[in-house]
Amino acid sequence: MIYLDYSATTPMSDAALFAYQKAAKNYFGNSNSLHQIGQEAEHVLYLSRKSIASPLQIQPNELYFTGSGSEANFLALTSLASANKHKGNNIVTTRCEHHSVLQALHYLQSQGFTITYVPVNEQGLVTVEALEEAISENTILATFAHANSELGTVQDLVAIGQLLSNHKVLFHSDCVQTYGKLPIPVDVLTSLSISGHKIYGPKGIGATFIRSQYHWKSFLEGTTHEFGFRPGTVDVPSVVSFATAAEDIHTEREQEMKRLSLLRERVVKALCNNSSVVFEGHPTKRLPFHLGIRLKGIEGQLVMLECNRKGVAISTGSACRVGQSSPPQSLLAIGRTHEEAHEFIRVTFGKWTTEKDTDTLVECIQSIVSKFRKD
């Protein structure tokens, strides 16, 4: 089976697996325990925290481990919003955000916050003009993903961040899809979220960065782990494995992203003259390993199943939306009809993707178009 769904999850690297096993065997103590075994686990936890924080150029004590990228988003948004509610109750975002962000905002609405959705252009970009119009005197927080997991479009966080800073609005960004893959302009952010299983590390581990100068309020009062940010014994082996994966992916980031970008261009070149194929998202401001595609008149679900039957694993969008009958919200947000949005498929490359794999993908798509396209 050819795996082309790396934005959903990645297989663990050998190094990350080895690190997990070694840490689970030798550093099994509760990192909050005061005895030697607990303190050894705490020391390893600190070294891992420092290692993950280093590429972001942040302080280790500004990084809080969570159970996933989704939880990292939820805790960042609820913690910052709750702590700053006395300043205002409005939060600004788009309808293109990850499901976990939209869930967090839905919860905050139930707590008395209002949500303003900034329109995006046809390629999924937030414009400074649209954002300026959306900000009000009650706006205290904004959240925009660095890269949209479905469209692949990468936002200009610097321009967005500068505008938000001028209005004294806190800025959170979901960076799960870009950590270890693209440079992240952390200096314009108040907080961000990352995840282990997107970079060949383990599932069930994520992290939130919140700049130390900003006040946050714990979602569950009385929490003692992770500086009071999140309850529950920290999974030290997963953190160590996460740190190992982070070190590896940053070491080879530029070279690997260039390789994957060439593979993406290879597919685009092979399919660009096919009138049934539509590429979604921004053509250049995008994830270099990502393809958002529509096959006109053919359901994305059908394309995914046909590819699966031919031995190629792709998706119809974010894995967090599986089981929902509605099409990807990001496609509707950029002006596609429900019918067009249902045509969407997502193809993402990774460490083990080869030219031969991309050629097989092209053959699959061309054969599906020939079989099911009705002119």
35/158 Cα distance (integer angstroms): 45
Domain range 2-8+253-372, CATH class: alpha beta
Spell out the residues 6+ positions from residue 12 whose beta carbon is closer than 8 angstroms to its own. 20, 197, 200, 201, 202, 241, 245
Residue 86 DSSP SS3: helix
Which residues of the chain form CATH 3.90.1150.10? 2-8+253-372
State the sign of the Cα–Cα–Cα–Cα dihedral 120, 124, 128, 134. Answer: positive
Answer whether 357's CB lies under 8 Å from 2's CB: yes
Answer whether 91's CB lies under 8 Å from 116's CB: yes
pLDDT for 373 equals 73
107/252 Cα distance (integer angstroms): 39
Q: Among 97, 185, 194, 110, which residue's Cα sits nearest to residue 142?
A: 97
pLDDT for 223 equals 86
pLDDT for 318 equals 65
From residue 298, give the alpha-carbon distance in Å to each of 313, 316, 374.
Answer: 17, 12, 9
pLDDT for 374 equals 63
303/19 Cα distance (integer angstroms): 38
User: What is the residue-level pLDDT of the chain in tens, covering all 375 positions?
Assistant: 999 999 999 999 999 999 999 999 999 999 988 899 999 999 999 999 999 999 999 999 999 999 999 999 999 999 999 999 999 999 999 999 999 999 999 999 999 999 999 999 999 999 999 999 999 999 999 999 999 999 999 999 999 999 999 999 999 999 999 999 999 999 999 999 999 999 999 999 999 999 999 999 999 888 888 888 999 999 999 999 999 999 999 999 999 999 999 999 999 999 999 999 999 999 999 999 999 999 999 999 999 999 999 999 999 976 555 555 678 999 999 999 999 999 999 999 999 999 999 999 999 999 999 988 765
31/235 Cα distance (integer angstroms): 9
Spell out the residues 6+ positions from residue 346 whose beta carbon is closer than 8 angstroms to its own. 5, 7, 149, 150, 152, 290, 291, 292, 293, 314, 315, 316, 317
Could you tell me how many helices (H) and strands (E) the chain has, helices first?
A: 12, 12
Start-to-end Cα distance in the chain: 31
Lookup: tokens for 54: 């280093």
The residues carrying an active-site annotation are: 320
Which residues of the chain form CATH 3.40.640.10? 14-250
Q: Among 115, 120, 129, 156, which residue's Cα sits nearest to residue 332?
A: 120
Q: Rounded to the nearest 5°, which phi and psi values hold at 153?
A: -70, 135
pLDDT for 323 equals 52
Domain range 14-250, CATH class: alpha beta
Element (H, E) at 321: none
Lookup: tokens for 222: 């009385």
